[in-house]
Structure 1
Amino acid sequence: MFAIYLLAFIAITNVFAFQSNDIYDEVRGSRNLTGKVVLVTGSSSGIGEQIVKLFSALGANVVVTGTKDADIQRVVKEAQDLSPQKLKPLGLAADLTKTDELEKLVNETIKTFTKLDVLVNNAGIYLTANLMDKKFWDTFAAYEKIDVTAALQLIQQAVPYLQKTKGSIISISSVIIQRPQKGMLAYGLAKECLDMSTRQKGMLAYGLAKECLDMSTRVLSLELAPLIRVNAISPGSVLSHPLNTTDPVAVAQYNKTIKSTPLARIGQPSDIAKGVVFLASSDAEFITGHNLVIDGGLNYNMDSNFSNP
């Protein structure tokens, strides 16, 4: 009888040992993205550029998009140089305000790589306008076209392929939605819409129309589960392009950001790229409907005038 108990104990121990080793091995290999296909909008410069470069460096096939072919081809070459297997990215110029060009992005990705594992809605614009400014509604319309409509249309196009790979959708939002800023109403509304696809099943259209607030990551995390995970990232201030040291306003805002950030530096595109890779990796396989703030703690120190010179 003792021998039977001993064998049972050994068997159970071996099971736990196997599970533990399996977990450790999975985490060790979680950033090996060989064989994955990643489409990132707005990836010919700034944060998007760093996202495709990091994915490429980790072995993935990437799609570089933008509006200027020269920038696209530069990033394609640099991302290929970073690839362990020297995989050449697909470079595609696209106007995201045109539905046919959004369809082209997805179709060309599938035609080239046969599948899609990760969609990153990174493309966006940055404009300011107070409600009483004559340009307010033009500003809001511009945000709605790029940050909301284009992102949701692209998701709609990509879902059939992401379902096949049990893929992931990640949208780049902003900490502005958590800390109201003067002159940032149009920007904040658009970013809240982008964050809002995840609250109640079947309520996406209603939520966008009635709230335009916090819904593009929550509703879709429910509607597209369990096959597709949907998350967002809210960056703080990020130095997406080299600082113009001849512009006193830009320099003042840069210094103000560092002073206001608990971690005492401005964000870098690589900080956001690392977050995107994490959410796309197997380490985040039980995370959906989440908005990951990557801001060095800045949002805790932002007053309502922070974004204004």
Structure 2
Amino acid sequence: MFSQKVVLITGASSGIGAETAWEFSKQGASLVLTGRNKHNLDIVLEKCEQISPSKLRPIKVIADLNNEKDIEHIIDITIKHFKKLDVLINNAGILADGTIETTSLEQYDNIMKTNIRGPYYLTMLATPYLTENKGNIVNVSSVAGLRAFENTLSYCISKAALDQFTRCVALELAPKGVRVNAVNPGVIMTNIHLRAGMSQLEYTEYLKKCKVTHALGRVGEAKEVSSVITFLASDSASNITGATLPIDGGRHAMYPH
């Protein structure tokens, strides 16, 4: 489905990003994968090459989206190697706990830099190339962008901003044939909560609670998100733009717990 297409994925070294890379590889895409963890990214690359129908090995770019030069380098490498870009997946993101009484400006700045400023700048730089090929963008947001939750203030704000960014850029680029959408996962089985500071015990208890907070009675799998991302990036979604699509087991429809 994505043969001859060039796809750039940020945050591809684990979780949803890794699963998305594998899904695109299965469908024949040429990939540029970015992340901060070289070891993990190499593991993802190896699997991509193994499952690609043409055994295509992705281009790897170690990069931090908080660094403007790194973002510029991502686009430079992509265009230098492939001469074009068809799909941008803004997946990289971080999570941290904190209320208005316990948060800090440092936490706010870190989350906003990674979750919205990085995608903002990368999209700016990618847009001319996406326009040339009438490509598309999929932003990985969160149900936290659609609904309010306690103790994740900065994160919720950043994802709400990413959703509005999705809608605004969709309107701006629609006349040029470029589609822009977002997926809004609920709790997905990745390491994001552990990286945010949860202990293993706290995470286990949190997953038990999710059986109540998600209408389907369970958390989601990364594959359930990656399959929707590839759908939105495909021609099957050719009449969809400006959408923020919950993939959350019904959590967005429930009263926040």
Q: 1:182 aligns with which of 127, 143, 150?
A: 150
3-state SS, counterpart of residue 225 of structure 1: helix
State how far apart, in whole Å, the 1-side matches of 2:251 and 2:101 are.
28
**What is the aligned residue count?**
252
**Which residue of structure 1 lines up, in the alignment, with residue 188 of structure 2?**
238
- Structure 1 unaligned regions, length at least 5: 1-31, 197-215
State how far apart, in whole Å, the 1-side matches of 2:48 and 2:219 are.
24
Q: Percent identity?
A: 36
Letter in 2 for 1:113: F
Once the two structures are TM-superposed, the CA of residue 119 in structure 1 deviates from its matched residue by: 0.3
Letter in 1 for 2:213: S
State how far apart, in whole Å, the 2-side matches of 1:302 and 1:59 are.
41
3-state SS, counterpart of residue 78 of structure 2: helix
Letter in 1 for 2:6: V
Once the two structures are TM-superposed, the CA of residue 261 in structure 1 deviates from its matched residue by: 2.2
Matched ranges for 1:108-257 at <5 A: 108-133=77-102, 135-196=103-164, 216-226=165-175, 227-241=177-191, 247-257=200-210
| 2:233 pairs with 1:280 | yes
What are the Cα deviations for residues 143-186 of structure 1, in whole angstroms up to 9, with x where unaligned? 11111111010000000100111000111111112221111221
Letter in 2 for 1:139: Q
**Which residue of structure 2 lines up, in the alignment, with residue 16 of structure 1?**
none
Once the two structures are TM-superposed, the CA of residue 243 in structure 1 deviates from its matched residue by: 9.8
Query: How large is the RMSD of aligned CA atoms in angstroms?
Result: 1.6
- Structure 2 unaligned regions, length at least 5: none
1:62–1:90 CA contact under 8 A, matched in 2: yes
Larger Rg: 1
Once the two structures are TM-superposed, the CA of residue 217 in structure 1 deviates from its matched residue by: 1.0
3-state SS, counterpart of residue 233 of structure 1: strand
Range that drifts further, 258-267 or 83-92:
258-267
Q: 2:76 aligns with which of 100, 104, 107?
A: 107
Once the two structures are TM-superposed, the CA of residue 294 in structure 1 deviates from its matched residue by: 0.5
Q: Which runs of 4+ in 1 moved over 3 A?
A: 241-244
What are the Cα deviations for residues 85-136 of structure 1, in whole angstroms up to 9, with x where unaligned? 1001001100111111101101101111121110011000010111122x42
Letter in 2 for 1:223: E
Matched ranges for 1:4-153 at <5 A: 32-133=1-102, 135-153=103-121
Greater relative contact order, per chain length (Cα 8 Å cut-off, separation 6+): 2
State how far apart, in whole Å, the 2-side matches of 1:236 and 1:243 are.
12
3-state SS, counterpart of residue 75 of structure 2: helix
Once the two structures are TM-superposed, the CA of residue 247 in structure 1 deviates from its matched residue by: 2.7
1:174–1:234 CA contact under 8 A, matched in 2: yes
2:3–2:27 CA contact under 8 A, matched in 1: yes
1:72–1:92 CA contact under 8 A, matched in 2: no
Give the TM-score taking structure 1 as reference length: 0.78
1:130–1:136 CA contact under 8 A, matched in 2: no
Give the TM-score taking structure 2 as reference length: 0.94
